[in-house]
Amino acid sequence: MRYCALWLLLCLCQLTAWGQQRPWVESIVYDPQRDGTFDLGNDTQVYQYHNDGKGVLYRGEQPALHQSLRVALTGIPLDSSFDGMVRIRFVVNKQGKAGMFRPLVCNVQGEEVGLEPSSLQALLQAVQQADGWQVKNIDGKPVHYYQYVLFRLHYGSIAQILP
Protein backbone atom coordinates (compact mmCIF):
# COMPACT_ATOMS: atom_id res chain seq x y z
CA MET A 1 0.00 0.00 0.00
CA ARG A 2 2.77 2.35 1.02
CA TYR A 3 4.57 1.65 -2.29
CA CYS A 4 1.37 2.37 -4.19
CA ALA A 5 1.10 5.76 -2.52
CA LEU A 6 4.73 6.48 -3.33
CA TRP A 7 4.18 5.46 -6.93
CA LEU A 8 1.13 7.72 -7.15
CA LEU A 9 3.13 10.57 -5.67
CA LEU A 10 5.89 10.06 -8.22
CA CYS A 11 3.34 10.08 -11.02
CA LEU A 12 1.90 13.34 -9.68
CA CYS A 13 5.39 14.87 -9.58
CA GLN A 14 5.88 13.91 -13.21
CA LEU A 15 2.56 15.47 -14.14
CA THR A 16 3.53 18.67 -12.36
CA ALA A 17 6.83 18.70 -14.23
CA TRP A 18 4.93 18.23 -17.47
CA GLY A 19 2.69 21.15 -16.61
CA GLN A 20 5.76 23.31 -16.07
CA GLN A 21 6.94 22.86 -19.65
CA ARG A 22 5.76 26.25 -20.85
CA PRO A 23 5.98 27.22 -24.52
CA TRP A 24 9.32 28.54 -25.71
CA VAL A 25 10.11 30.93 -28.52
CA GLU A 26 11.91 29.42 -31.49
CA SER A 27 10.48 25.97 -30.81
CA ILE A 28 10.17 23.59 -33.74
CA VAL A 29 6.96 21.61 -34.07
CA TYR A 30 7.15 18.12 -35.56
CA ASP A 31 5.57 17.94 -39.00
CA PRO A 32 5.25 14.35 -40.33
CA GLN A 33 5.30 15.59 -43.94
CA ARG A 34 8.62 17.40 -43.55
CA ASP A 35 10.22 15.43 -40.77
CA GLY A 36 9.39 11.86 -41.80
CA THR A 37 10.41 9.20 -39.37
CA PHE A 38 12.55 11.41 -37.14
CA ASP A 39 11.77 10.27 -33.66
CA LEU A 40 11.51 12.10 -30.33
CA GLY A 41 9.94 9.10 -28.57
CA ASN A 42 7.56 9.88 -25.74
CA ASP A 43 9.58 12.85 -24.52
CA THR A 44 8.74 16.08 -26.31
CA GLN A 45 10.94 18.29 -24.12
CA VAL A 46 13.74 19.76 -26.23
CA TYR A 47 16.58 21.62 -24.49
CA GLN A 48 18.90 24.25 -25.98
CA TYR A 49 22.42 23.35 -27.13
CA HIS A 50 23.93 25.52 -24.41
CA ASN A 51 21.90 24.18 -21.49
CA ASP A 52 24.61 21.71 -20.46
CA GLY A 53 27.35 24.38 -20.51
CA LYS A 54 29.62 22.06 -22.48
CA GLY A 55 29.68 24.01 -25.73
CA VAL A 56 29.12 22.59 -29.19
CA LEU A 57 29.42 18.80 -29.22
CA TYR A 58 30.36 17.40 -32.62
CA ARG A 59 32.61 14.37 -33.19
CA GLY A 60 35.92 15.78 -34.42
CA GLU A 61 34.84 19.28 -33.34
CA GLN A 62 34.83 22.25 -35.70
CA PRO A 63 37.33 20.86 -38.25
CA ALA A 64 35.16 17.78 -38.84
CA LEU A 65 31.90 19.74 -38.97
CA HIS A 66 33.24 22.31 -41.44
CA GLN A 67 34.93 19.64 -43.53
CA SER A 68 31.67 17.72 -43.81
CA LEU A 69 29.69 20.84 -44.80
CA ARG A 70 32.26 22.14 -47.27
CA VAL A 71 32.69 18.77 -48.95
CA ALA A 72 28.91 18.45 -49.34
CA LEU A 73 28.82 21.89 -50.98
CA THR A 74 31.85 21.50 -53.24
CA GLY A 75 31.11 22.39 -56.84
CA ILE A 76 27.57 23.57 -56.08
CA PRO A 77 26.97 27.13 -57.31
CA LEU A 78 25.28 29.27 -54.65
CA ASP A 79 23.03 32.31 -55.23
CA SER A 80 25.45 34.96 -56.58
CA SER A 81 23.15 37.87 -55.79
CA PHE A 82 22.77 37.02 -52.09
CA ASP A 83 24.58 38.76 -49.23
CA GLY A 84 23.36 37.56 -45.85
CA MET A 85 22.91 34.64 -43.50
CA VAL A 86 21.18 31.29 -43.66
CA ARG A 87 20.51 29.72 -40.31
CA ILE A 88 19.42 26.11 -40.28
CA ARG A 89 18.05 25.10 -36.92
CA PHE A 90 17.20 21.54 -35.98
CA VAL A 91 16.78 19.04 -33.17
CA VAL A 92 19.38 16.49 -32.11
CA ASN A 93 17.59 13.64 -30.39
CA LYS A 94 18.69 11.40 -27.53
CA GLN A 95 20.34 9.03 -29.99
CA GLY A 96 22.44 11.84 -31.51
CA LYS A 97 20.38 11.89 -34.73
CA ALA A 98 19.45 15.26 -36.25
CA GLY A 99 16.06 16.10 -37.70
CA MET A 100 13.27 18.71 -37.99
CA PHE A 101 15.47 21.12 -40.00
CA ARG A 102 14.11 24.67 -40.41
CA PRO A 103 15.83 27.41 -42.41
CA LEU A 104 15.82 31.17 -41.75
CA VAL A 105 17.20 33.39 -44.49
CA CYS A 106 17.97 37.08 -43.98
CA ASN A 107 20.12 39.87 -45.34
CA VAL A 108 22.73 41.81 -43.32
CA GLN A 109 20.12 44.45 -42.46
CA GLY A 110 18.26 41.73 -40.57
CA GLU A 111 15.33 41.48 -43.01
CA GLU A 112 13.91 38.09 -43.95
CA VAL A 113 14.52 37.58 -47.66
CA GLY A 114 14.44 34.78 -50.20
CA LEU A 115 17.28 32.66 -51.48
CA GLU A 116 17.46 30.75 -54.74
CA PRO A 117 15.63 27.46 -53.97
CA SER A 118 18.46 25.32 -55.35
CA SER A 119 20.97 27.08 -53.03
CA LEU A 120 18.73 26.65 -50.02
CA GLN A 121 18.20 23.00 -50.89
CA ALA A 122 21.95 22.43 -51.16
CA LEU A 123 22.60 24.05 -47.77
CA LEU A 124 19.81 22.05 -46.15
CA GLN A 125 21.16 18.81 -47.57
CA ALA A 126 24.68 19.62 -46.42
CA VAL A 127 23.45 20.16 -42.85
CA GLN A 128 21.30 17.02 -42.99
CA GLN A 129 24.34 14.98 -44.05
CA ALA A 130 26.52 16.17 -41.14
CA ASP A 131 26.05 13.25 -38.77
CA GLY A 132 28.56 13.86 -35.98
CA TRP A 133 26.28 15.56 -33.44
CA GLN A 134 26.85 14.08 -30.02
CA VAL A 135 24.35 13.22 -27.36
CA LYS A 136 23.93 15.83 -24.63
CA ASN A 137 23.11 14.98 -21.05
CA ILE A 138 21.30 17.02 -18.45
CA ASP A 139 21.48 15.73 -14.88
CA GLY A 140 23.15 12.58 -16.19
CA LYS A 141 20.36 11.69 -18.63
CA PRO A 142 20.35 12.08 -22.42
CA VAL A 143 18.06 14.82 -23.75
CA HIS A 144 16.85 16.15 -27.09
CA TYR A 145 18.32 19.56 -27.93
CA TYR A 146 18.07 22.37 -30.45
CA GLN A 147 21.22 23.12 -32.45
CA TYR A 148 21.87 25.31 -35.46
CA VAL A 149 24.37 25.90 -38.24
CA LEU A 150 24.71 29.37 -39.73
CA PHE A 151 26.18 30.12 -43.15
CA ARG A 152 27.39 33.65 -43.86
CA LEU A 153 27.03 33.86 -47.62
CA HIS A 154 28.64 36.61 -49.66
CA TYR A 155 27.63 36.78 -53.33
CA GLY A 156 27.97 33.12 -54.11
CA SER A 157 30.74 32.19 -51.69
CA ILE A 158 30.60 30.86 -48.13
CA ALA A 159 32.38 33.55 -46.11
CA GLN A 160 32.02 31.72 -42.79
CA ILE A 161 30.27 28.82 -41.12
CA LEU A 162 29.14 28.88 -37.48
CA PRO A 163 29.67 27.20 -35.07
Partner 1 sequence: MRWRLLLLLGLFGPVLQAQPNCNAFYFQGDVAAYEACKYLDTATYGHYQYEEAFQEICDKALAICPHFAYAWREKSTAYVKAGNFVLWLKYMNQAVRFDTLGMLPVRASCRGKFFADHEGAIADVELFERMYPGTLAMAHNGTYSLAMVKALSLRALNRIPEAILTAETYLQAYPELPGMYDRLHLGAMYLQLGDTAQAKSQFERQWQQTPIAEAAYQLARLALTEKQPVVARQYSQQARQLFDAEQRLFDPYHYLSDQLFEADLVALEEDLR
- Residue number, 19 or 32, with CB nearest to partner 1: 19
The gap between the terminal CA atoms of the chain, to the nearest Å, is: 53
Using CA atoms, how far apart are residues 109 and 83, in angstroms rounded to an integer?
10
User: Smallest gap, in angstroms, from Cβ of residue 63 to partner 1?
Assistant: 5
Using CA atoms, how far apart are residues 88 and 84, in angstroms rounded to an integer?
13
- Residue number, 28 or 40, with CB nearest to partner 1: 28
User: Smallest gap, in angstroms, from Cβ of residue 148 to partner 1?
Assistant: 5
Interface residues with partner 1 (CB under 8 A)? 22-26, 48-50, 53-56, 60-64, 85, 87, 89, 104, 106, 108, 110-112, 146, 148, 150, 152, 159-160, 162-163
For residue 122, the surrounding DSSP H or E stretch is helix 117-129
138 near 49, Cβ under 8 Å?
Answer: no
> How many C-alpha atoms does 143 have within 13 Å on its Cβ side?
17
- Residue number, 2 or 111, with CB nearest to partner 1: 111
- Residue number, 7 or 50, with CB nearest to partner 1: 50
